[in-house]
Amino acid sequence: MKRLSLIGIGPGGPEYLTLQAIEAMRRVDVFFMLEKEGRGKEELLEARRSILNRYLKPEQFRVVTASSPPRSTTEGYRQDVAAWHAEKRRLFIELFERELAEGQCGAFLIWGDPALYDQTVSLISAIVAAAPDRYTLEVIPGITAVQALAAEHRIPLNRVGEAISITTGRQMAQCDPSSLNNAFVMLDGEETFRRFGGQDMDIYWGAYLGTDDQLLIAGALDEVEDELLRTRRCARERKGWIMDTYLLRRRSRDD
């Protein structure tokens, strides 16, 4: 039996790892890292390696890197994602069979929490379900960007008696701006918050949370939008990638 582990490592800083995550890492024989295309990929790999070097001894583990399959944009969003996921499952099985001996544990370090907008858990759960006599899987939760952003801005995620939505930039691009009151937004590469100007909104934004490069901006969206756009674009140009998120909140009558 080969053991598989998905370990949530938080949104960036090594201090975000839980004791449970560190203990799980110490049971791992091989860490798998997928390398994405584009500038900045080495920095993302190095961030994971630095976490391993901080908590583990070099002789305790082995790292195997592989190129992440690219996602096509030809058949429509859902069809492209389905094909992309199928390619990833094939890659995972190949890695598990080639790199793991019987009884060994292989793991992926997952940004934030494996259950929040990361489909690795679904892909590997499907592999395990198809071969339950071949693999086992454990999932270690991590601190999310949702929690980290609220902590850095020193705000509650929801006001008294109020719900909060966790959504994506793609969904925000399609919603009625007047229907949104309190939403945490992830995966917004298109700066969709610009749609919500003139809606009496506050924004709490953060990038590279928990790292030395952390950036934070907060205030009335209409007042800080230009600063936010400049800061975000400069950071992305400088590093070649950006990992950011934000909370959009409509002001109450008492604000």
9-64 pLDDT, tens digit each:
999 889 999 999 999 999 999 999 998 776 767 888 898 999 999 999 988 899 99
- Among 59, 61, 71, 50, smallest CA distance to 25 is for 61
Arithmetic mean of pLDDT, 89-104? 96
pLDDT at 153: 98
pLDDT at 38: 65
Q: Which residue has the higher pLDDT, 244 or 68?
A: 244
pLDDT at 116: 94
Could you tell me the residue ranges of all domains in the chain?
2-140, 145-250
Arithmetic mean of pLDDT, 174-203? 94
Arithmetic mean of pLDDT, 226-246? 95
pLDDT of 253 > 80? The answer is: no
pLDDT at 193: 96
- Among 115, 242, 110, smallest CA distance to 189 is for 242
Least reliable range by pLDDT among 3-12, 63-72, 178-187, 208-217: 63-72
pLDDT at 75: 66
pLDDT tens per residue across span 117-173: 999 999 999 999 999 999 999 999 999 999 999 999 999 999 898 999 999 999 999
**Which residues have C-beta within 8 Å of that of residue 226, sequence separation ≥ 6?**
none
pLDDT at 35: 84
Beta bridge partners of 246: 185, 205
Out of 3.40.50.620, 1.10.940.10, 3.30.950.10, 3.90.1140.10, the CATH code matching 145-250 is 3.30.950.10
pLDDT of 185 > 60? The answer is: yes
CA 148 to chain centre: 12
Domain 2-140 falls under CATH 3.40.1010.10: yes
Topology agreement, domain 2-140 and domain 145-250: no
Beta bridge partners of 249: 182, 202
pLDDT of 79 > 90? The answer is: no
pLDDT at 252: 73
Arithmetic mean of pLDDT, 81-103? 94
Beta bridge partners of 204: 218, 247
Beta bridge partners of 185: 167, 246
What mean pLDDT value characterizes the chain? Answer: 93
Q: Residue 110, Cβ neighbours under 10 Å: how many? A: 24
Contact 246, 150 (CB under 8 A): no
pLDDT tens per residue across span 123-139: 999 999 999 999 999 99
Give me the DSSP letters along the chain: -EEEEEEE-BSS-GGG--HHHHHHHTT-SEEEEEEPSSTTHHHHHHHHHHHHHHHS-GGG-EEEEEEPPPPP-SS-HHHHHHHHHHHHHHHHHHHHHHH--TT-EEEEEESB-TTSS-THHHHHHHHHHH-TTTEEEEEE----HHHHHHHHHT--SS-TT---EEEEHHHHTTS-GGG-SEEEEE--TT-GGGGGTTS-EEEEEEESTTSTT-EEEEEEHHHHHHHHHHHHHHHHHHHS---EEEEEEEPPTT-
Task: Give the Cα separation of 236 and 198 in Å (integer).
Answer: 26
pLDDT at 76: 77
